[in-house]
A = this chain, B = another copy of it.
């Protein structure tokens, strides 16, 4: 289980705006990707630090600054002052256990989302927080970067000038990033769906204790996703309906599309949760079914052999005066009686549909 309160608990007692990184990645290089583009041109650079305050803020091009790695507090402070970010925004960027949220700070919009990326190598989803800051002509994105880069397709589309990305503003870039993030949810969802499908077969053919543990794990995964996806609905809704001048009407239509995808993801999740909870019912009832079967076997065996063993015991007694013992045919007769008793029992059990 992820412990969602851990990061926050560490920060107790610190003043608001104190820059303390609560994420998992603690070392390594910070990588800054800078892309400046308009319809006509595209410049791409990779920075290892931020020496001078960038001058692109009032240019004609659109600037996208992507920061991979949040553990260098000094660098983050520099970026904050360059783009005059509110201390609370910087604090939230560094506290990597934020709930998805949207805030309008007049000069820029601040969006926090959780990015999920399915790592095919280890067959597991990785999650990390992505902060997006959108203004008139720039977009800043912050991530820890350990879960890999889901933004690569966007970069490729920018480079190859595919689609309408280069033709539109910073808001459309922010939309494209959100869209990519939400699209990745479906890959994780589809993986869960595939595992549920496998489990359903297993449940019908041969449910074991491992099946139960799988159901439990999948429920945990669904819960985990839920915490990432549910708040996103409200976030994208506020983003779309907000009256910020940075978002054009054309982009709003596209954002509405991302909103629909989010609802679709939520719907799918809720469906999975219902299916999983139905599977648990099936599992429990198949357990009690098995118990019934085991008990039936025991009862059949006991009910057949107990009377027979009793009869054998009776004729093993050592009384002097037991006339049957001396009779010529009593031994084979007893065998017949015992076979008759066993046969009758079997017929009764068949009638009761136990066998």
- A227 to B267, Cβ gap below 8 A? yes
* Chain B positions within 8 Å of A216 at CB level: 278, 281-282
- B309 to A306, Cβ gap below 8 A? yes
Cα-based distance from A175 to B254 in the complex (angstroms):
27
A275 is contacted by which of B11, B220, B328 (Cβ under 8 Å)? B220
- The answer to whether A86 and B253 touch (CB under 8 A), given A3-B193, A316-B317, is yes
Cα-based distance from A219 to B26 in the complex (angstroms):
34
> Does any Cβ of B come within 8 Å of A180's Cβ?
yes
Cα-based distance from A326 to B181 in the complex (angstroms):
86
Cα-based distance from A4 to B328 in the complex (angstroms):
74
A153 is contacted by which of B13, B265, B308, B334 (Cβ under 8 Å)? B13
* Chain B positions within 8 Å of A281 at CB level: 216, 280, 284
- The answer to whether A330 and B325 touch (CB under 8 A), given A288-B284, A301-B306, A303-B297, is no
A317 is contacted by which of B294, B305, B331 (Cβ under 8 Å)? B331
- The answer to whether A328 and B321 touch (CB under 8 A), given A193-B3, A271-B223, is yes
Choose the segment among A46-54, A58-66, A119-127, A255-263 that binds chain B (4+ C-beta atoms closer than 8 Å). Answer: A255-263
> Does any Cβ of B come within 8 Å of A285's Cβ?
yes
> Does any Cβ of B come within 8 Å of A108's Cβ?
no
A187 — nearest CB in chain B belongs to which residue?
B9
* Chain B positions within 8 Å of A291 at CB level: 288, 291-292, 295
> Does any Cβ of B come within 8 Å of A299's Cβ?
yes
Cα-based distance from A5 to B307 in the complex (angstroms):
56
Q: Copies of this chain, how many?
A: 5
CB distance from A314 to the nearest CB of B (A): 5
Cα-based distance from A98 to B268 in the complex (angstroms):
11
- B299 to A263, Cβ gap below 8 A? no
Cα-based distance from A22 to B329 in the complex (angstroms):
77
Cα-based distance from A165 to B308 in the complex (angstroms):
83
CB distance from A68 to the nearest CB of B (A): 19
- A257 to B322, Cβ gap below 8 A? no
Cα-based distance from A289 to B212 in the complex (angstroms):
11
Residues of A within 8 A of B (CB): 1, 3-6, 8-9, 11-18, 86, 88, 91-92, 97-99, 101, 103, 153, 157, 162-165, 175-176, 179-180, 183-184, 186-187, 189-190, 192-194, 196-197, 200, 204, 206, 209, 212-213, 216, 219-220, 223, 227, 253-254, 256-257, 260-261, 263-265, 267-268, 271, 274-275, 278, 280-292, 294-299, 301-303, 305-310, 312-322, 324-331, 334, 353-354
